[in-house]
Amino acid sequence: MPSSPALVQIHHLKKSFDGRSLLQISEREVQRGQAYVLTGMNGVGKSVFLRILAGLEQPDHCRLQFGGEMHDLRHFPRVLRENIVYVHQHPVMLRMTVAQNIAYGLRLRGVKADEIRTRVDAAMQWAGVQHLQARLPQGLSGGEKQRIALARAKIVGAPLLLLDEPTANLDGQAREQVLALIPDLIASTQAVVMACHDRDLIHLPGVVHWKLRDGDIEVRSEGK
């Protein structure tokens, strides 16, 4: 039986800074039903790679195939903005309550108010932040903000989820709480790409290990 087409196909991604080549990725695919961890030394471009895929950083050149159509990432189209969600290493919190932060993506997509309330309640319960729903972001801990950001990402159901160092600034219980959410987050979307150094994420079962080195991505292993 032939395999299903990739969710995303990346073609000739190039990015330079001040005349120095940072990324030179000829071809890479993100398969449906698969999670990836992207590792590499600090400064090699892991976050830049994710930000290009999310439309937050302009490449010198990159064509991306999604939904049977080819798109030039120098002119990021709306269809990709609606289907790719990026979670920052330092989560961006809007100046509104926790519940409103989590609901934000659904409101942008025109979801009805009753459905938003139902889905936000479920997302807050999943992330363990129900008790924070009326709080403003000021004063929340890093772990609380990360769980809120993951709930906000999960709730919209985008096919591709990009996580930039989801546990990098956390330790102790906060890190464990975020780690506990990742497997279910992976199971609830079509594909996840995580830039990280966290060995617990790198060694999650079934995860494909990508390593960014010398501007290109090497496929290292699955679940190792």
- pLDDT 10s digits, 140-151: 999 999 999 999
For 83, other C-beta atoms within 10 Å of its C-beta total 18
pLDDT in tens, 16-39: 998 899 999 999 999 999 999 999
Alpha helices per DSSP H over 21-94: 46-53, 78-83
Q: Is the pTM of this model over 0.75?
A: yes
Domains and CATH numbers, the chain: 8-222 (3.40.50.300)
How far is residue 42's CA from residue 61's CA, in Å, rounded to a whole number? 23
Instruction: Label residue 162 by pLDDT band (50, 70, 90).
Output: very high
Q: Is the pLDDT of residue 96 over 60?
A: yes
pLDDT in tens, 33-80: 999 999 999 999 999 999 999 999 999 999 999 988 999 999 999 999
How far is residue 112's CA from residue 14's CA, in Å, rounded to a whole number? 40
Q: Is the pLDDT of residue 181 over 70?
A: yes
Which candidate, 51, 71, 59, places its Cα nearest to that of 163? 51
